[in-house]
């Protein structure tokens, strides 16, 4: 894909989604209870919680696959409840765990679904399909005419994301999109998706039950329990200052370690460089590496320290006590 094009698209801003006092009742059960939150434009907002907490119901109310009992949902200030649901959905990307590609249509036709519904001219659809297939790392000429059954699970998931992005929606709703693939593929898909989201500037509301995924992808994470919002904060804040015992338990007793995955070696204080011969067997760490990975390597080495190098430059020595101090400095009082 040409670079100038990527730049142009990055300027396109995502939409802001605002839920105001949204409630969904099924008979006597309250699935979502006066939920208010704002998903900022161009960011990934993750909804997370134990099963039955109302996260998927909340997501599906945004594109009106489920109708709220009361409350308002605004996209860029417009109340979605006053719009035609079909038209609304064509402007919102939607990805689900089982992907739901159309088995009877080729990859190209699948990706073209929403542009076709919107009546784009054929030439524009063709160009957009090829552009998206390239974006997700496919060779359009090779993949365009294949059927979903000929793809691996990871490839199908990528096509699902491309299909949701096809009509350049300002908002994407994703319901555990990477939940059905193996951990190695999942990590790769998450990384690719993060990059894609950053370059396209789309607002994303993302449902998961995997706290590691929430921390990795979320700019903001909403923790829900029995239909209520318990805490809504950036991941680092969530790990450092859980609002209550429920959140603390949910993010896990290893939340210190999880916070390390958000911090980099470059952000830690270092001892001044010492003679490398005294660091025999110590791992070499780069400033961009996460502290969690650095810690794992240091613990496995005899010296329990790491030598930090930025390319050829020897920056200093990272010790376990530095990591501990960094964690304590952000602990809740």
Binding of another protein by 202 (CB under 8 A): no
Neighbouring C-beta atoms of residue 55, cutoff 10 Å = 28
Contact mark string toward another protein, 57..96, x via CB under 8 A: ------x-x--------------------xxxxx---x-x
Least Å distance, CB 207 to another protein, is 13
| Dihedral (Cα; 114, 117, 121, 123), 10-degree rounding | 40
Rounded to 5°, angle at Cα 119 from 114 and 122 = 95
Binding of another protein by 114 (CB under 8 A): yes
Nearer to another protein, 131 or 176 (CB): 176
Neighbouring C-beta atoms of residue 248, cutoff 10 Å = 16
Reference 161, options 98, 91, 217, 99; nearest CA is 99
Binding of another protein by 100 (CB under 8 A): yes
**Binding region for another protein (CB under 8 A) out of 47-55, 75-83, 159-167, 239-247:** 159-167
Least Å distance, CB 89 to another protein, is 4
Nearer to another protein, 110 or 231 (CB): 110
Binding of another protein by 101 (CB under 8 A): yes
Least Å distance, CB 282 to another protein, is 50
Reference 130, options 196, 327, 122, 242; nearest CA is 122
Please report which helix (H) or strand (E) contains residue 304, including its range.
Answer: none
**Binding region for another protein (CB under 8 A) out of 8-16, 111-119, 135-143, 256-264:** 111-119
Nearer to another protein, 180 or 315 (CB): 180
Neighbouring C-beta atoms of residue 37, cutoff 10 Å = 18
Reference 99, options 152, 34, 22; nearest CA is 152
Name the region of 201 (left: φ>0; alpha: ψ -120 to 50; beta: rest).
left
Residues lying near another protein in the complex (CB under 8 A): 63, 65, 86-90, 94, 96-105, 113-114, 117, 146-147, 149-150, 160, 163-164, 173
């Amino acid at each position: 894909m040409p670079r100038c094009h990527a730049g142009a698209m990055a300027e396109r801003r995502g939409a802001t989604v605002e839920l105001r006092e949204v409630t969904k009742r099924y008979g006597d059960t309250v699935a979502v209870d006066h939920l208010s939150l704002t998903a900022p434009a161009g960011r990934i907002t993750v909804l997370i919680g134990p099963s039955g907490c109302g996260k998927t119901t909340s997501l599906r109310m945004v594109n009106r696959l489920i109708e709220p009992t009361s409350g308002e949902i605004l996209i860029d200030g417009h109340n979605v409840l006053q719009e035609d649901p079909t038209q609304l959905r064509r402007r919102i990307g939607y990805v689900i765990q089982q992907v739901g590609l159309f088995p009877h249509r080729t990859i190209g036709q699948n990706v073209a679904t929403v542009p076709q519904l919107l009546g784009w001219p054929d030439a524009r659809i063709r160009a957009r399909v090829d552009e998206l297939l390239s974006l997700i790392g496919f060779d359009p000429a090779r993949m365009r005419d294949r059927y979903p059954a000929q793809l691996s699970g990871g490839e199908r998931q990528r096509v699902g994301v491309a299909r949701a992005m096809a009509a350049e929606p300002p908002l994407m709703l994703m319901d555990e999109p990477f939940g059905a693939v193996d951990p190695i593929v999942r990590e790769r898909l998450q990384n690719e998706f993060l990059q894609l989201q950053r370059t396209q500037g789309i607002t994303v509301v993302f449902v998961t039950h995997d706290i590691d995924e929430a921390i990795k992808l979320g700019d903001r994470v909403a923790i829900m329990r029995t239909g209520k919002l318990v805490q809504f904060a950036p991941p680092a804040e969530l790990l450092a200052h859980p609002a209550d015992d429920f959140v603390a338990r949910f993010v896990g007793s290893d939340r210190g370690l999880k916070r390390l995955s958000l911090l980099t070696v470059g952000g830690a204080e270092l001892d001044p460089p010492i003679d490398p011969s005294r660091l025999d067997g110590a791992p070499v760490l780069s400033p961009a590496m996460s502290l969690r990975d650095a810690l794992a390597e240091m613990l496995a080495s005899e010296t329990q320290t790491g030598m930090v190098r930025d390319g050829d430059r020897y920056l200093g020595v990272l010790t376990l006590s530095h990591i501990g101090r960094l964690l304590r400095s952000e602990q809740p009082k």
